[in-house]
């Protein structure tokens, strides 16, 4: 089934969540019913506040879109039990036009594989193994089931045993001489209406006789068989066909591949594909975490295209995208940041110099003449005022102002009052450990061959920050070292005073280039700086360019 995920960046902020929900709704209403809003990170208190305010469930959580075995495997597993006969396995293979069947225990663990190749070797032995074609391993019940026959009398019908097949198509004297060469309790006699052969075999107490040709058994024969403990089966087939089918009554456990290759359902296709190609097997069981068989995958399944596509909102750099985004098709991008994505083919790319992605999404509804429902209008309003700090950010454009006025009417919400409630609805410096606070809204960038991060924390005042300054700085340095970044930064913004504090964990050459006032070690005062995208990021890139 085709799946199109409308998804924001890692560590999503309010604009990423709200624009994903809004744009998924827009795509569904313009002919893309498979569009689903998604997120690849946790929500926070402010996002939860917004979703609750407009009675909307959070987008589906998708941590990784890497194509995996489960995406192309056949979930409807055609299998047999260890008690199944080779005849039943062959019938299934022919009916389903397959080459390999897994043998599953009751708990769905895989006992082995039954292949057409191995069964052909069993039925057509080499000339120097001709005697093997006379040997049968079967129980009375399995033999009768394979022959579609009827049991007239049976002793120990479920005991599987090795028998020698003899065809009663010779004189009594010749048959008696041949019978004397084998232990009678190990002999299975296939015979037509030769009463003399039937009686001789029963008197000698062979293991069982199969009366062929659809012929009945005389009452006297049945009675004599009961007295002598000889099992009797009536076969609807002639003697030659009965003999051929009898070998197929062996259970599959005798012809399975016990050494076989399996894959985990969560294993990536990229990793598994070369392993499968090099294998001699054609099909492979797929196991879950409990080693139960949940699917089967063939070599041709690895050629299937994974029907998962992405629409990226509020970002367009793979370093910020959901894990595995580089391995699936990206259909569209809706964003208001710098362009950092290269694609192998043309795509729809909406990138506008406005204050929020929610502005672009709202404009899509308006350009198509679609009514924006009250809850979608409320979500887009929240995304817009969050990213523009209610139109006070330097990223704000006239288009943001116009769109916000429209959304206020559609949502029946005052942007000013909602802004106050939004930014009072959850400080990450209060609700989260320092390690989580610095990554709650964090983006990764690569410039001048160096990886770095820029996070932002929006607060009402700096009181909470100063209380936890030491913890935050220590967490920032640990984050930089553990992830191998050249530097990591956090912009703590006071949405009331419209100023920020910049925290930098990085090498001395970088820190010496910072020309903002250092109010405390590692903490710089950036008066009038509130935008990560338009103010902080260009400044950080400027610093990198001037470091040897």
Query: What pLDDT sits at residue 420?
Result: 87
Q: Span 399-414, mean pLDDT?
A: 97
Tell which phi-psi region holds residue 426, choosing left (phi > 0), alpha (psi between -120 and 50) or beta: left
Q: Do domains 3-67+307-423 and 431-545 have the same CATH topology?
A: no
Give 320-338 pLDDT, tens digit per residue.
Answer: 999 999 999 999 999 999 8
Tokens (6 digits) for 417: 């009052």
pLDDT at 102: 94
Contact 383, 419 (CB under 8 A): no
Residues 6 or more apart from 297 whose CB is under 8 A from it? 69, 72, 73, 74, 263, 276, 283, 284, 286
pLDDT attached to residue 126 = 58
> What pLDDT score does 343 carry?
80
In degrees, to the nearest 5, what angle opens at C-alpha 471 toward C-alphas 468 and 475? 135
pTM of the model: 0.70
Q: Specify the pairing of strand 499-505 against strand 523-527.
A: antiparallel
Using the predicted structure, report yes or no on whether residue 190 has a pLDDT greater than 80: yes
| Segment 200-241, tens digit of pLDDT | 999 999 999 999 999 999 999 999 999 999 999 999 999 999
CB 59 within 8 A of CB 41: no
d(CA 526, CA 536) in angstroms, rounded, equals 9
Task: State the DSSP H helix or E strand holding residue 343, giving kind and residue range, or none if neither.
Answer: none
Higher pLDDT, 257 or 379: 379
pLDDT of residue 336: 94
pLDDT at 440: 87
Q: What is the pLDDT of residues 361-375, one digit of tens each?
A: 999 999 999 999 999
In this prediction, residue 342 carries a pLDDT of 80
Q: What pLDDT does residue 127 have?
A: 58
What backbone torsions phi and psi does residue 159 show, to the nearest 5 degrees?
A: -80, 115
The CATH architecture assigned to 431-545 reads Roll (3.10)
Residue 117 confidence (pLDDT): 76
| Average pLDDT for 34-54 | 94
**pLDDT number for residue 130:** 46
Q: Residue 316 has which token pair?
A: 């367009």
Query: What's the pLDDT score for residue 132?
Result: 56
> pLDDT band at 548, cuts 50/70/90?
low
Q: With pLDDT > 90 as the criterion, what percentage of the chain qualifies?
A: 79
CA geometry: angle 300, 302, 307, nearest 5 deg: 115
Determine the pLDDT at residue 119: 78
Instruction: Give tens-digit pLDDT for 287-301.
Output: 999 999 999 999 999
Q: Which two tokens stand for residue 450?
A: 């160096």
**DSSP conformational letter for 460:** S
Structural tokens at position 426: 């959850």
Looking at residues 44-64, what average pLDDT do you find?
95
Question: What are the extents of the domains in the chain?
Answer: 3-67+307-423, 431-545
Bridge partners (DSSP) listed for residue 112:
103
Nearest Cα residue to 352 out of 383, 313, 391, 382? 313
Q: Give the integer Cα–Cα distance in Å for 170 and 122.
A: 27
Distance CA(171)–CA(193), nearest Å, equals 13
pLDDT digits (tens, 9 = 90+) for 124-173: 655 555 445 678 899 999 999 999 999 999 999 999 999 999 999 899 99
> End-to-end CA distance of the chain, in Å?
51
What pLDDT sits at residue 124? 65
Fold of 3-67+307-423: inorganic pyrophosphatase (n-terminal core) (3.90.1640)
pLDDT digits (tens, 9 = 90+) for 439-458: 988 999 999 889 999 999 99
């Amino acid at each position: 089934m085709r799946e199109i995920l409308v998804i924001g960046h890692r560590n999503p902020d309010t604009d990423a969540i709200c624009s994903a929900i809004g744009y998924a709704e827009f795509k569904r209403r313009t002919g893309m019913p498979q569009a689903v809003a998604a997120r690849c990170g946790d929500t926070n208190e402010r996002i939860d506040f917004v979703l609750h305010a407009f009675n909307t469930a959070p987008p589906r959580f998708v941590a990784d879109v890497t194509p995996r075995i489960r995406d192309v495997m056949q979930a409807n597993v055609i299998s047999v039990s260890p008690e199944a006969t080779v005849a039943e396995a062959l019938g299934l293979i022919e009916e389903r036009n397959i080459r390999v069947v897994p043998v599953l225990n009751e708990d769905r663990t895989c006992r082995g594989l039954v292949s057409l190749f191995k069964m052909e070797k069993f039925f057509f032995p080499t000339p120097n193994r001709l005697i093997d074609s006379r040997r049968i391993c079967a129980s009375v019940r399995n033999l009768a089931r394979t022959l579609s026959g009827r049991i007239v009398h049976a002793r120990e019908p479920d005991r599987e045993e090795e028998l020698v097949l003899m065809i009663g198509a010779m004189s009594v004297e010749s048959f008696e001489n041949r019978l004397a060469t084998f232990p009678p309790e190990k002999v299975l006699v296939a015979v037509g209406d030769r009463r003399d052969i039937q009686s001789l075999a029963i008197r000698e107490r062979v293991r069982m006789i199969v009366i062929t040709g659809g012929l009945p058994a005389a009452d006297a024969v049945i009675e004599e068989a009961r007295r002598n403990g000889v099992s009797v089966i009536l076969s609807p087939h002639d003697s030659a066909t009965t003999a051929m089918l009898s070998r197929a009554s062996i259970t599959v456990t005798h012809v399975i591949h016990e050494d076989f290759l399996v894959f985990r359902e969560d294993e990536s296709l990229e990793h598994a594909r070369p392993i499968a190609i090099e294998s001699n097997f054609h099909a492979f069981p797929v196991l879950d975490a409990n080693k139960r068989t949940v699917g089967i995958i063939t070599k041709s399944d690895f050629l299937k295209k994974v029907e998962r596509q992405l629409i990226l909102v509020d970002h367009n750099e793979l370093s910020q995208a959901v894990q595995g985004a580089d391995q699936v098709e990206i259909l569209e991008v809706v964003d208001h940041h710098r362009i950092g994505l290269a694609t192998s083919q043309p795509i729809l790319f909406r990138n506008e110099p406005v204050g929020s992605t929610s502005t672009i999404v709202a404009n899509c509804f308006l350009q198509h003449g679609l009514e924006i429902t009250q809850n979608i209008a409320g979500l887009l309003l929240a995304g817009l005022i969050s990213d523009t700090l209610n139109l006070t950010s330097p990223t704000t454009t006239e288009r943001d102002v116009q769109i916000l006025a429209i959304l206020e009417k559609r949502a029946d919400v005052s942007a000013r009052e909602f802004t106050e409630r939004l930014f009072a609805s959850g400080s990450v410096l209060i609700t989260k450990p320092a390690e989580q606070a610095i990554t709650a809204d964090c983006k990764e960038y690569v410039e001048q061959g160096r990886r770095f991060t820029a996070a932002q924390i929006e607060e009402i005042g700096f009181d909470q920050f100063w209380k936890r300054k030491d913890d935050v700085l220590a967490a920032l340095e640990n984050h930089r070292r553990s992830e191998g970044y050249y530097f990591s930064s956090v912009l703590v913004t006071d949405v009331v005073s419209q100023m920020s504090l910049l925290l930098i964990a990085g090498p001395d050459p970088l820190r010496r280039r910072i020309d903002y006032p250092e109010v405390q070690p590692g903490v710089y005062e950036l008066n009038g700086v509130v935008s990560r995208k338009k103010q902080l990021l260009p400044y950080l890139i400027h610093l990198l360019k001037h470091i040897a």
